[in-house]
Amino acid sequence: MNGDWLIRGRDGRLSVYLTSDDAVLCRAERAPGGSWDGPRRVGGNQKVHPVLAVGQGADGYAHLVSWRPTVKAEAGLVHSTHYRPLLAPLDWAPVGHPDKKGARTGPPAVAVDAQGRAHVFVRDTATGIRMVAQKEKGGWEPWRDLKGEGVEGAPVAVTGERGRVEVYAAVPGGVLHWRQGEPGGQPVLEEALEAPVRPGTLRALATSPEHTTLFYTDDSGDLWAWRPGTKPAPLLAAAGAGPVAAIRCELDGHDCTLLAQRSASGRVAFAAYPTEQESAGAWWTESGPPLPADAEVALATDHEDRVVAATLSPSTGRLLLSRRKDEPVLALTAWQEV
């Protein structure tokens, strides 16, 4: 999964998205902070590949993107909108293929601009990035070639606080960064960072009106934070493999960035620091039981603006949740399966 698969809807209910062999499933709280319903298929009986990108707009709507088989050995991207957690998501609608037709080219990413339009990014067969965006009054604009070369792994897309969409992608020896010059415009390749980045470890977060911050792990296993236009800042050794989950939240009256990751021990590790102040330092604190190797971690805030952490194992389907207690620092409740 690519993106924040644990989200809070407009009505305050939390929902999660997960993949199965031929479907995307969703689960939601029956009431804010209450019990959860069982898994439901997105898009009815339509079959999709076990890949999913999730993005959420300022309106609270979730946008889902996956690959769907078409003819033999070929696939096309599809999109669905989920307006409220307890409503059924819209049926999958075709978006097309970055090369007009062919097999899957790579995991997609999706971000939603200030007008509520989804922007879908995916690698093409030439290893560059292509994008397709929703029109204001329905339908999709033509595919756009954003250039770039040598993209490895999934790109990550994020919307800044001023509503402009940005995308990052790992390439051999670095990261490429595209950004909209103005809302609704085509993202432009603005900067190429030279760094020993591990593909598959990227996570982006809006951290101020001017900046988004990219988190990535380098070849030595250290976690870094980079804001385009500045130099990367070292944070700490990564707790485990894969990307971190990241969210901004208030901790003891301070604007902080909270990171979470499945650690090498199998437990969830948390680290927090003042937003955009990496020099303040951060350290990992582990929580919860050991998790399967494929477990993913997500962060969100609930209807009371409390931090919620979730873990989900695709192989077992187990969903575990923990919420922040009403106590100083980051004290969490016991992890519970829902």
Contacts of 200 (CB under 8 A, 6+ apart): 153, 154, 170, 242, 243
- Beta-bridge partners for 321: 310, 336
User: Can you give the pLDDT at residue 317?
Assistant: 83
For residue range 174-219, list pLDDT tens digits in order: 999 999 988 888 999 999 999 999 999 999 999 999 999 999 999 9
Give the model confidence (pLDDT) of 124-175 as tens digits: 999 999 999 999 888 999 999 999 999 999 999 999 999 999 999 999 999 9
Per-residue exposure over 64-87, b if at least 16 CB sit within 10 Å of its own CB, e if not: bbbbbeeeeeebbbbbbbbebbee
Residue 44 pLDDT: 84
- What amino acid occupies position 113? D
Mean pLDDT of the chain: 95
Domain 2-246 in CATH 3.40.50.1360? The answer is no
Residue count of the chain: 338
Name the phi and psi angles at 317, rounded to 5: 75, 5
If we measure between CA atoms, which residue out of 45, 44, 42 comes closest to residue 53? Answer: 42
Q: What is the pLDDT of residue 252?
A: 87
Q: Give the three-state DSSP class for 278.
A: helix
109: which residues sit within 8 A by CB, 6+ positions away?
Answer: 2, 3, 53, 55, 120, 121, 122, 154, 155, 156, 157, 167
CA distance 18 to 265: 24
Judged against a pLDDT cut of 90, whether residue 327 lies above it is answered with no
| DSSP H stretches of helix in the chain | none
- 3-class DSSP state of 279: helix
Please report, for the chain, the start and end positions of each structural domain, with discontinuous segments joined by +: 2-246, 247-338
Number of H helices, E strands in the chain: 0, 29
pLDDT bracket for residue 306 (50, 70, 90): very high
